[in-house]
Structure 1
């Protein structure tokens, strides 16, 4: 088992890159089937989803477009519960099918806020696509059409996800571990 130290925390391998890429491919195949003939707009939420979005779109073989929006709701290892739109969206969404591409959905507050905001732009449909879903933390009802993996409530890093802006470049996904595990 591999360990990495980021700032004051130690993390252990949780999901290897090979499994992540296989799950991303499965989600892309479902999008290819469901969205055939629709030309969806994939709306990737920065910064965390950039690696997932890149791997996802490389596996999509139907006409589609991609754009990016940056939202912030995290500080350190916990969600602040306050969503701040940093970079807005310039595309016309009227009559479009939008797929929000997110790295992780936990409480659901960010997604709920984003869906409400996008809904004012008259899209035909809005779907959620997330690499990781924490059903045990969900606090608002959401219809997550595309989830690559469900995970427990552990704090994770890697494959685009960060700990205070560090660790995004890691190919695998790591979970925080206690000192007893690293002593083994």
Structure 2
């Protein structure tokens, strides 16, 4: 696959910043406070959904000052594409979930197909309860299930093609410090 780094750079240079880095930090602080209030005494197993959840989980977990177990899973619908429908389980959860409280951390709740499948899988494996945390909730009416929402949300963002803070543009810019929208998308 040939990558046009000039086009990748241009996408960042021309993007609209929808959520500034300092707003991200405040959102993560608020999420950490709410998660702590709910799970501090629950001995939770926390799953990071790769790859998008990596940045969010890394920043959020450092703000949770209580005992927890961390693991990862990898389920995707996009790969490096801009859209996708087929769920691809690359790494399934391997820990014993029976009777556990589980927190699933991801970058974004867009349609929610991936997150819903992960939550369902955790329940099928015997989790006592499964909560979800996303940095971004995309505002639209196309959720995978009616009234589907994350338990902990950092920010609500308009329905555009987003990147930064874990979300990518053609595999790049997960490391961008804010949340950006592709110009015209």
TM over 0.5: yes
Match of 2:124 in 1: 120
Does residue 132 of structure 1 match 2:136? yes
Q: Which residue of 2 aligns with 1:63?
A: 67
Conserved 8 A contact 1:5-1:11: no
Following TM superposition, where does structure 1 have runs of at least 4 consecutive aligned residues deviating by more than 4 angstroms?
none
Number of residue pairs matched by the alignment: 175
Q: Is the 8 A contact 1:45 1:69 kept in 2?
A: yes
CA distance in 1, matches of 2:60, 2:42: 17
TM-score by length of 1: 0.88
Match of 1:164 among 162, 165, 170: 170
- TM-score, normalization: structure 2? 0.87
Helix, strand or coil at the partner of 2:85:
strand
Q: Is the 8 A contact 1:43 1:98 kept in 2?
A: yes
Q: List alignment gaps of at least 5 residues for structure 1.
A: 180-184
CA-to-aligned-CA distance 1:85-127 (integer Å, 9 cap, x gap): 0012111111100011010011111122112211111011001
Rounded to whole Å, the distance in 2 between the matches of 1:175 and 1:123 is 36
Corresponding residue for residue 182 of structure 1: none
Matches of 2:180 and 2:87, distance apart in 1:
25
**Residue in 2 aligned with 1:99?**
103
Alignment partner for residue 148 of structure 1, among 150, 154, 164? 154
Partner of residue 15, structure 2:
11
**Higher strand share goes to which structure?**
1
Partners in 1 of 2:184 and 2:137 — Cα distance?
23
Match of 1:33 among 16, 34, 37: 37
